[in-house]
Amino acid sequence: MRVVNPATEEPIAELEPAGVEEADAAVARAKAAFPAWRAFTPDARARVLRRLATLVEEHGEELALLETRNVGKPIADSRGEVQMVADVFQFYAGAVDKHHGETIPVSGGVDMTFREALGVVGLIVPWNFPIAIASWKLGPALACGNTVVLKPAELTPLTAVRLGELALEAGIPEGVLNVVVGPGSKVGARLAEHPDIAKIGFTGSTEVGRGVMEAAAGTIKRVTLELGGKSANVVFADADLERAAAQAPYAVFGNAGQDCCARSRILVERSAYDRFLELLVDATRGVRVGDPEDDATEMGPLITAAHREQVASFVDGNVAFRGDTPDGAGFWFPCTLVEATNDDRVAREEVFGPVAAVIPFEDEADAIRIANDTPYGLSGSIWTRDGARAFRVARAIDSGVLSINANTSVRVQTPFGGFKQSGFGRELGLHALEGYSEVKNVYYSTEA
Ligand code: NAD
């Protein structure tokens, strides 16, 4: 299996792909390691997770460079994502002894709940944020006492493999975290149906997620699905238009648009539409596209040539702006703004590239209607100086994560996940622990 740098098209690693047999062997190792890992005291489990966080920080530059070369993402972004990985392990190290049960008033005795580990969990990760998304699943899974088979995307496995080595160095016992690199159709599909796997934590496309859910049904596996998105960035005429326009490009062209939270539908109130578009074009012109290893770069190439073709197929309408790209090797695609309606393909499907649809709306009700007119519901933004309206609209949009006068979606401490066909279950924050544990209720009679 050849791993390629998307910015140079040069091979950077050659790996032997695993298949069903290797997946089964990894599940067996994880199953064998489960009793001892579950028996780790909370202190001991927290300690090794904290050590892993420290090791990730100490190897930060190495991991960031590996991620940049494998995904083509700007080095500044990779550094931020690797720091987040360390923060995620710190957070869940701290959560181990705060994931409490309850005591419940009942007749005739004492009733209490325990948070039990599930057993072996399968974690399936996409190629766009490889190490970050792996950590969002690994942190809570390990903190709750589960053992893991982690399957990175076949295009971008390198940081996951390195993370597996660092976990061993941190003192996480052999067999607790198993990284298996192989095709989704073999390794991923096997994990989804495997009788010894209790839960699948999946991030990827809605189409593959649907198949994972079907395969998991065979053994009533728990599933968490973090799927696609088509998020709206809603700009009202009373917003700070300069600020909203200055930030909008980064909310869709970040990671070259290969972001499930990309605000790829920019909805603008008609009375401010012309002015906003002018500001947006200027801001988009300023996005620095180029060598991902350059500290100043803000956008790199797409992941593959085939993906670039797919992205290009969305640009057939009214192009308001098309940016520049470097010459020569690399799967480059320019920042592109398209004027559209919400019925156009570019507004309905996930492009997963640097293409934004700019769509006018008439009033608050129309903005909410358009924002919700999508099968997805992952993320989104609302820009207005009217605080009451900001909250009215935030409550009315069917989406798991919203920002007001900002475009952020993901924080270590806060729940992240989708409504509708963007999936279900929540990652990050204390909410993620619910997805990696089972509530057990125990009643103790106190009758004499
Ligand atoms: P993908 O669905 O093609 O692949 C995701 C993972 O699933 C990969 O590891 C792949 O090997 C594996 N896989 C493929 N076929 C499988 C099968 N039959 N059974 C089990 N596993 C299988 O997605 P991708 O192209 O890697 O990533 C892009 C998609 O991920 C986009 O749709 C994006 O929106 C989504 N995404 C969602 C989030 C989120 O948190 N909601 C975050 C990042 C990406």
Give the pLDDT confidence of 136-180 residue by residue, as tens digits: 999 999 999 999 999 999 999 999 999 999 999 999 999 999 999
Q: Is the CB of 280 under 6 A from ligand 1?
A: no
Could you read off the pLDDT of 373-388 as tens digits, one per residue? 999 999 999 999 999 9
End-to-end Cα separation, the chain, in angstroms: 67
Split at pLDDT 50, 70, 90, the class of 317 is confident
Closest residue to atom 23 of ligand 1, CA basis = 204
Q: Is the dihedral of CA 155, 159, 160, 161 positive or negative?
A: positive
Orientation of helix 42-58 relative to helix 158-170, angle to 10°: 130
Q: Which of 1, 84, 124, 131 to mutate to test the pocket of ligand 1 (most atoms within 8 A of CB)?
A: 124
Ligand 1 centroid from CA 205, angstroms: 4
Element containing residue 268 per DSSP (H, E):
strand 265-269
- Position 438 pLDDT exceeds 90: yes
**How remote is the CA of residue 258 from the centroid of ligand 1, in Å?**
12
pLDDT at position 281 is: 98
Nearest CA, atom 14, ligand 1: 184
Contacts 24+ apart (CB under 8 A), 442-446: 442/111, 442/112, 442/113, 442/114, 443/106, 443/109, 443/110, 443/111, 444/109, 444/110, 444/111, 444/112, 445/108, 445/109, 446/108, 446/109, 446/110
- Under the banding of pLDDT at 50, 70 and 90, the label for residue 128 is very high
Ligand 1 lined by 228 (C-beta under 6 Å) = yes
Rounded-to-integer distance, Cα 246 and Cα 148, Å: 42
Q: What pairing do the DSSP bridges indicate for beta strands 265-269 and 355-361?
A: parallel
Average pLDDT over residues 19-32: 98
pLDDT band at 350 (very low <50, low <70, confident <90, very high): very high
The CA distance from 285 to 166, in Å, is 41
Per-residue confidence (pLDDT) for residue 44, from 0 to 100:
98
Q: To test ligand 1's pocket by mutation, which of 128, 133, 158, 208 has the most ligand atoms within 8 angstroms of CB?
A: 208
Verify whether ligand 1 is closer than 6 Å to residue 187 (CB atom): no
> Mean pLDDT score of the chain, rounded to an integer?
98
For the segment 66-92, the average pLDDT, to the nearest whole number, is: 98
pLDDT tens digits along 169-222: 999 999 999 999 999 999 999 999 999 999 999 999 999 999 999 999 999 999
What is the C-alpha to C-alpha distance for residues 197 and 241, in angstroms, rounded to an integer?
Answer: 50
Please check the confidence at residue 268 and state whether its pLDDT lies above 90: yes
- H/E run at residue 149: strand 147-151
pLDDT at residue 25, as a whole number: 98
Residue 320 pLDDT more than 90?
A: yes
Ligand 1 site-directed mutation target among 150, 203, 221, most atoms within 8 Å of CB? 203
Q: Under a CB-based contact definition with an 8 Å cutoff, are residues 11 and 104 in contact?
A: no
Nearest to 436 by CA among 201, 256, 180: 201
Within 13 A of 298's CA, how many CA atoms are on the CB side? 17
Q: What percent of the chain has pLDDT over 70?
A: 100
Residue nearest to atom 21 of ligand 1 (CA): 188
Of 448, 436, 444, 442, which is closest to residue 99 (Cα–Cα)? 436
DSSP code, position 397: S
Q: Is the CB of 59 under 6 A from ligand 1?
A: no
- What pLDDT shows up at residue 37? 98
CB neighbour list of residue 427: distance below 8 Å, 6 or more residues apart:
136, 137, 140, 201, 224, 226, 415, 416, 417, 435
Distance CA 168, CA 23 (A): 19
248 pLDDT more than 90: yes
The reported pLDDT for the residue numbered 443 is 98
Instruction: Tell me, in angstroms, the distance from the centre of ligand 1 to residue 120's CA.
Output: 20
Catalytic site positions = 226, 260
- Which ligand 1 atom is at minimum distance from the Cα of 126? 26
The average pLDDT across 399-421 equals: 98
Residue with tokens 């419940």: 104
Cα-to-centroid distance, 126 and ligand 1 (Å): 4
Please indicate whether residue 23, judged by its CB atom, sits closer than 6 Å to ligand 1: no
Ligand 1 centroid–CA 150 distance in Å is 13
Give backbone dihedrals phi and psi of 161, rounded to 5 degrees, phi first.
-60, -45
Q: Give the residue among 209, 174, 206, 168 at the shortest CA–CA distance from 188.
A: 209
